[in-house]
Amino acid sequence: MFAASTNVRPAHSPPRVPPAPTGRTRPHRSRRPAVADQAFLDQSTWNGQLFLGGWTEAAGGDAAVVEPATGAQLARIGSAAPADVARASALAAAAQPAWAAAPYHERAAVLRRAATLLEANRAEVEQWLVREGGKVPGAAAFEIGLVLGELNEAAALPSRPYGELIPSGEPRLSFSRRVPVGVVGVIAPFNFPLILASRSVAPALALGNAVILKPDPRTAVCGGVVLARLFEEAGLPEGLLHVLPGGVAAGEAMITDPNVRVISFTGSTGAGRRVGMLAAEHFKRAHLELGGNSALIVLEDADLERAVSAGAWGSFLHQGQICMTTGRHLVHEAIYDDYVAALAEKADHLPVGDPASGTVALGPLIDAGQRDKVHGLVTASVEAGARLAAGGTYEDLFYRPTVLAEVTPDAPAYAQEVFGPVAPVTRFSTLDQAAKLASDTEYGLSLGILTRDVMRGLDLAERIPTGLVHINDQTVNDEALVPFGGLAASGTGARFGGAAANVEAFTETRWVTVRAEIAPYPF
């Protein structure tokens, strides 16, 4: 994942907190003016508006774009209402057939131009990811890199073979071909807003569809305005992309709209269940990438120093606000105490504060609701018997990286997805016990196994149902060209990333036969 150059410097270790974590710690802060208008994301173009093939006022009014680190208003953005969704879907359905009929190289060229534009304007976009998204600069830079990969991989999709010949018992040519679904609805979350929107928007457009994107209102600029501006400048024909940040009403209107044929949703398991049920009621495919509570298994032969580094990265990266975050550290009893002590020491020395300062390892959680959820799970786990080895405190939205030791499987921070910088650590004594602990969850997204015996690690992985497996790495990994998805409560499998998954997700299969003459029939 992210390169080591995340502008992190060590800080003095904070004092230990009492068993019931109720204290507040002072974060690193910086003072600076609001985000300056620059050429690419000049706010005079979009401030307070939606993108319905062009910038326009929203039926739902507008809302503030807030910087979580400071509470400052950075801009305003249009807030979509169901009427905006209906208008967008009609425009998208009207524009899509001509786009699907366009020569493949024209569609590919638009995607390549979008990638070139992002590269040219990456410093400006990274600034918004830091300010609006709460990312440290290294994480923002990495997200841009992933999006560039998505755009370039998508640019290759229009020239791929799109069908196959099928044998037939009749005197005819029989074949199947992939055709665009029409209009695709994309609902993207706040945590990695640009990559988690673009990984559906880019391939869907490349394969000849129109797209309605509903980014999370908390990151509407990073997850929406940026893509609208990229494709606007790249020459995407008007009406093919619509960006509608909004709430539940806008999302449900998109799912139930008759023009929208496929829903691509990334978000929590609870919301995903509702999306899947509503889509099924309207006979629509829903591709769901949901939550996780991924395990990192540390075997007794693992290099301890590297294992602790991997574990800290897996749990604390972007404040733990990642679906693949290492949510459970399962550590062999022979090295358990040393692992907990080293992980706690590392957590104590990670500076937390305003990511725009360039001197911290962790920024803010996205909002007070998420902070209170994280702290509630930590507090409940300590009250249930877990030992607070590090962290457990916060100031404003800045939550200290937290290590919980002696955690039992029924502890709230172990059993539930925390979505915060919390590392629950549990011991095991045998591989059978490790496999059972790792498997005993409703989720099935990612798995990491750390060991010097790679074959033993692979054998252990075969016993644990999960969509992603990483031997000798932590659980947070992604690349544009790989199939990505989870099992059970983590989603509907690999429906994102990789050419085969994208074609499957955003096209339909059509059977076609051709005869030289009209077939004769007895009546």
- What's the CA gap between 475 and 237, in Å, rounded? 39
**Side-chain half-sphere of 172: how many Cα atoms within 13 Å?**
15
Tokens of 416: 């539930």
Which helix (DSSP H) or strand (DSSP E) does residue 365 occupy?
none
Contact 149, 484 (CB under 8 A): no
CA distance 361 to 118: 25
- Fill in the DSSP letter of residue 87: H
Burial status of residue 37 (CB atoms within 10 A of its CB: 0-12, 13-18, 19 or more): middle
Active site residue 323: yes
Residue 352 near residue 362 (C-beta atoms within 8 A): yes
* DSSP string computed for 106-161: HHHHHHHHHHHHHHHTHHHHHHHHHHTT---HHHHHHHHHHHHHHHHHHHTGGGS-
Coil vs helix vs strand at 447: strand
SS3 386: coil
Q: Which of 323, 333, 345, 479 is catalytic?
A: 323
In this structure, what is the dihedral angle of CA atoms 469, 470, 472, 478, given to the nearest 10 degrees?
Answer: -160
DSSP symbol at 26: P
Phi, psi of 222 (to 5 degrees): -60, -40
Beta strand pairing call for 446-450 and 387-390: unpaired
Determine whether 252 is an active site residue: no
Give the C-alpha distances (Å, rounded to integers) separating 64 from 80, 126, 150, 244, 245: 13, 20, 29, 15, 12
The H-assigned helical ranges of 330-430 are: 336-348, 368-383, 412-415
* Catalytic residue (choose from 143, 150, 232, 289): 289
d(CA 422, CA 316): 7
Q: By C-alpha distance, which of 474, 103, 460, 491 is closest to 273?
A: 491
Active site residues per annotation = 289, 323
